[in-house]
Every structure is written in structure tokens, then in C-alpha cells.
Amino acid sequence: MRCTVFGTGYLGTTHAICMAELGHHVLGVDTDPGKITKLSSGQLPFYEPDLEPLLRRNLAVGRLHFTTSYPDAAQFADLHILTVGTPSAADGHTADLTDLYAVANQLAALIERPAVILGKSTVPAGTAARLAAHLREQSPTCDFELAWNPEFLREGHALQDALRPDRIVLGVDMERTLGRSRAEQQARHLYADQLKAGVPLVVTNLETAELAKMAANAYLATKISFINAISDLCEGVGADVRALADILGHDPRIGRFGLDAGIGFGGGCLPKDLRALAKQAGELGAVDAAMLLREVEQINLHRRVRVVDLARQACGGSLRAAHVAVLGAAFKAESDDVRDSPALHVSAAIQQHGAFVTVYDPKALDNARQSYPTLTFATTITHACENADVVLVLTEWEQFAALNPDELTRLVRNRSIIDGRSSLDSTRWREAGWAYRAPGIPKTCDQLSP
Ligand code: UDX
């Protein structure tokens, strides 16, 4: 089938490529001509493992195209997917729906045949119903059904998550469609392969679909803050948070994901969606939800302070004029995304305490330089670590876990390492004579480690 994808950010680009990979004819649309030129020539505007070959393959076979032309897009298909960004507004809490409304308005004004508009962007519950009412008023002759189909994909695993998701969620306007939703029919065609492969489809009302995405992200954030809060207890009693996480994670009712303690969560989704949900909960008078979600955020921010404290202790009580090597800038491994990156937030805080901070990351240096121009960046681990008083590992890249402590010993001034991601082998570092510190891992408990 044919579909358009409006907004070629991370979500839209991934989705456009994956829908083409499933055999559909896809037109990606964006107002940024630079992005469209890049994508049309087979280059991804961001790093995501294994995605670029799929982009090239689908361009080559003619199933995937990109354009800046809204009229062409409105003509191209009768299924239009909206994947525009919904960043935090200037208040830092509310979701900014400006782009979503702008795209939907322009599209609705151009639609000439009955069409389905499928929203994928993460939005506060109630957005779809309000947007549909707004479009009906603005473009009264436009025959459309608006449905919501949130996306749960993770950066670094986008391909797998988009091609074989855990579930497909579709929110439809139950009252208007009365069991005969065009959007549901179209979605069943679009995702036919996945449904055939057994991926569950949950069809529900618009609000449930919208809230489900926010709630899923808030739940994952809660889980991460939970283990981080427990990690303080671990240090207090002499327990090891890594073994504890494995023990909890073996319980299928709990599951292992989200139990890696350390510097906390960041990125373009979890923090912003958590804040937006807390804000909405407050507005609705859902006081318990608002309180819980705000606490989850506070715990997360406190993790960053905790790692700065560990660095200060490692430098003998003051960071002034200390040389600090930071390994990692991306908000997580296998990504070049630095939005709300705990690694860069901590680096900047340490710099503010008077330290000389040098940051290395295998993929995110360009983005990091743009966001934090006052930090110093190194293009190799060696350069970052030269004469360091302390080395901080703040993104869980595999190449950091594979580092040889003896090789690093020759470079640094002090053998002191802080593992902000619990991703190194503490025994190996300690045996090589390094002072190894990590949240939730007591100074002397290597024998407890898994
Ligand atoms: C998240 C959701 O997982 C995904 O379903 C949604 O569609 C978008 O938001 P993503 O932001 O790509 O995906 O990353 P995720 O893997 O969830 O990690 C988020 C943050 O939490 C990262 O900073 C990561 O390093 C951190 N994290 C994750 C932990 O601190 N501990 C963990 O155990 C897991």
C-alpha cells in the first residue's frame, strides 16, 4: 500500500524506512530541504545501527522517496502518518504541539479524497480529539479520520522495534466510527506482516492510546529511578546493586530492563514525556500520579549530583583545577543523540566546579560540541585520558567496558575511575590497582559481584 510519513526526524525516518522494508510505497515529507536531500541520497541524518543499508536498499528499488512538497504528498496516498516532534515547550513541562498542528493543518487543506491521518508522535491524552475537532473546523470539506498509533521504539534498537514491535496500539474515535473505522482497516493492511507474525494489536479509544505511550515511558522511568534509589541503600548496607538487579530481573513479573543503576535516564523521550505527564496529572487533579512522577524526575536528577560528588571525592574533596576525563556523551550507547544527556550534564557541572573536563564519545561528538560548546572534546580515548586525575564512564558503550586498565594506567595521573553506568568489570579494575567507584557498588564488595 502507499503511505506518507510527515516529519523525518528520528521516529519518522525510521518508520518510513521500515514501512518501505515491509513492501509499502512510502513518501517521507519534511520542510527541511537539507534533510530531504541527505535522505534522498541515502544518508541518515543521525546514527542508528543497521538502518542506513535499509534506507539505500529501499531508495534503490524505488519504494521509498522523500519530498518537501505537501501538495505532492497529499496526492501520493490516502494514508498519512504524522511523526513530527513534540518537544518540551519553553516552560520545560508542557508538550509543544505547534509543529503537529502546523503539519496537520497544511495537510488537511490539501486532502481531496477520503483519507486516514495516523498520528504517531507522543502527545498528551486528549490531543487527537482536539486536533480532529480543530481540523474539521479549519478544513470543513476535508474527509478524514484521525487515529493514533503510538510508537515504542528505542534508539539503538529502532530497526528491531519498528519491524517486530512488542505490540501495535491503535486509538480510534469510537463514537464517530462505531466499529467501522477506516483507520483500523488501513492499519491492519499496513501492519499485515507483523500481525501475521503474531504481534498483538490493541484497538482502543484515542485517549487510551495516547496515554498508554506516556504511561509506558513513565513506568520505565520509574523503574530506573527505583533501582537508582535502591542503589543508595546498597552502598549503605554493603550490597551490590548489579547482583541485586539480576536477582530482581530474573522474576518475570519484574523483568531485567531498566534495572541498570547509575547516572539515570536521559534522551529525547523519557525525561520530556515524564514531565509532560506530571504536568497533565497536576492539571487534572490526579495528585498521586503528579507526586509520583515528580519524585521519579527528582530522583533522576539527583543521580547526576551523586556522580559529581563521587568525582569530587575522587579528586580529594575539590574539583578545582582537576583534570577530568569523561568517556561518553550520548544519552545511551549505540546512539549519537545528546538530548538531555546525563553524561554532558554531569560534564558541564564538573566544569562549573573549576575542573578541566575532556569528553570523548565514539559517535556523539559533533552533536555534543553543538550543545555544549564550552566543553573540551577529544577524538580518542587516549587524548581524553592523558594526565587525568579521574576517569568517568558516563555512557555504556561496549568499547569502554572492553578497556584495558593497564593500558590506561600509563596515561593518567591518578588511577581513579568512576563507573556511572555499572558497565565495567570492577574486579578487573581494582586488581589493576585502580580506585573503582560506582553508585550502588560498595568499595570492597567485588566478591559479591555476579
Ligand atoms: C525510550 C523507551 O524505551 C521507548 O519505548 C520509547 O519509544 C522512547 O523512549 P530510548 O529513549 O531510546 O527509549 O531509551 P531507553 O533504552 O529506554 O533508555 C532511556 C534512558 O535510560 C537512557 O539514558 C539509558 O541509558 C537509561 N537507562 C536505561 C538506565 O539508566 N538504566 C537502565 O537500566 C536502562
- Which atom of ligand 1 is nearest the CA belonging to 332? 25
Of all residues in the chain, what percent carry a pLDDT higher than 70? 99
Q: Cell 518540551 maps to which residue? A: 88
Q: What is the ipTM of this complex?
A: 0.97
Indicate the average pLDDT of the chain: 96
Nearest to 155 by CA among 299, 341, 361, 380: 341
Any binding-site annotation on 154?
yes
* Average of per-residue pLDDT across 131-158: 96
| Of the candidates 81, 76, 99, the residue with the CA atom closest to the CA atom of residue 18 | 81
- pLDDT at residue 112, as a whole number: 96
pLDDT at 447: 43
Q: Is the dihedral of CA 216, 222, 223, 224 positive or negative?
A: positive
Residues 360-365 have a mean pLDDT of 98
In 33-95, alpha helices (H): 33-40, 51-60, 70-76
Distance 60 CA to ligand 1 centre (A): 33
The number of the ligand 1 atom at minimal distance from the alpha carbon of 152 is: 7
Is 39 touching ligand 1 by the criterion CB < 6 Å?
no
Report the nearest-CA residue for atom 34 of ligand 1: 258
Buried b (16+ CB within 10 A) or exposed e, 188-215: eebbeebeeeeeeeebbbbbbbbbbbbe
pLDDT above 90 (res 450): no
The protein residue with its alpha carbon nearest to ligand 1, atom 25, reads: 332
* Residue 419 labeled ligand binder: no
Out of 169, 270, 272, 337, give the residue to mutate to test ligand 1, the one with the largest number of ligand atoms within 8 Å of its CB: 270
Q: Which helix (H) or strand (E) holds 295?
A: helix 287-314
Q: Which helix (H) or strand (E) holds 396?
A: none
Residue nearest to atom 5 of ligand 1 (CA): 152
In the structure grid, which three cell numbers stand for residue 119, read together?
498520528
Tens-place pLDDT, residues 221-241: 999 999 999 999 999 999 999
- Is the distance from the beta carbon of residue 332 to the nearest atom of ligand 1 less than 6 Å? yes
Helices 287-314/270-284 angle, 10° precision: 140
**Is 207 annotated to bind ligand?**
no
pLDDT at 445 over 60: no
| pLDDT (0 to 100) of residue 446 | 52
**332 CA from centroid of ligand 1 (Å):** 7
User: Following CA atoms 304, 307, 312, 315 in sequence, which dihedral angle do they give, to the nearest 10 degrees?
Assistant: -140
Which residues in 405-443 are b (16+ Cβ under 10 Å) and which e?
beebeebbebbbbbbbbbbbbbebbbebebebbbbbbbe
332 is annotated as contributing to ligand binding: yes
427 membership: H or E segment, kind and range: helix 426-431
Rounded distance from Cα 156 to ligand 1 centre (Å): 10
Q: Whose CA is nearest to atom 13 of ligand 1?
A: 154
Q: Measured in angstroms, how far is the CA atom of residue 307 from the centroid of ligand 1?
A: 19
Residue 448 confidence (pLDDT): 44
Atom number of ligand 1 nearest to Cα 335: 12
Number of C-beta neighbours around residue 258 at 10 A: 18
**Residue 283: pLDDT band by 50, 70, 90 thresholds?**
very high
Is residue 44 within 8 A of residue 51, CB to CB? The reply is yes
CA of 289 relative to ligand 1 center, distance in Å? 21
Please confirm, yes or no, whether 234 is among the known catalytic residues. Answer: no
Give the contacts of 382 (CB within 8 A, at least 6 positions apart).
411
In this prediction, residue 73 carries a pLDDT of 98
Using the predicted structure, report yes or no on whether residue 92 has a pLDDT greater than 90: no
Residue 339 annotated as binding site = yes
Q: Is 10 in the pocket of ligand 1 (CB under 6 A)?
A: no
- 152 marked as binding residue: yes
Give the mean model confidence (pLDDT) for residues 33-40. Answer: 97
- Residue 449 pLDDT > 70: no
Q: Is position 415 annotated in a ligand binding site?
A: no
Q: Is the CB of 150 under 6 A from ligand 1?
A: no
DSSP string, 156-219: TSHHHHHHS-S-EEEEE-HHHHTT--HHHHHHHHHTHHHHHTT--EEEEEHHHHHHHHHHHHHH
Q: At what angle do helices 287-314 and 206-237 cross, to 10 degrees?
A: 40
Domains of the chain: residue spans and CATH: 2-199 (3.40.50.720), 215-448 (3.40.50.720)
Give the model's pLDDT for residue 93: 87
**Pocket flag, ligand 1, residue 323 (CB < 6 Å):** no
The grid cell for 185 is: 482497516
Residue range 330-349: average pLDDT?
97
Residue nearest to atom 27 of ligand 1 (CA): 265
155 Cα nearest atom in ligand 1 = 12
Strand order through the sheet with 416-419: 376-377, 356-360, 323-327, 390-393, 416-419, 435-437
Q: How far from 374 is each of 91, 352, 392, CA to CA, in Å? A: 25, 10, 18
What pTM does this model have? Answer: 0.95
Alpha-carbon span 25 to 189, nearest angstrom:
13
Ligand 1 neighbourhood includes 155 CB (under 6 angstroms): yes
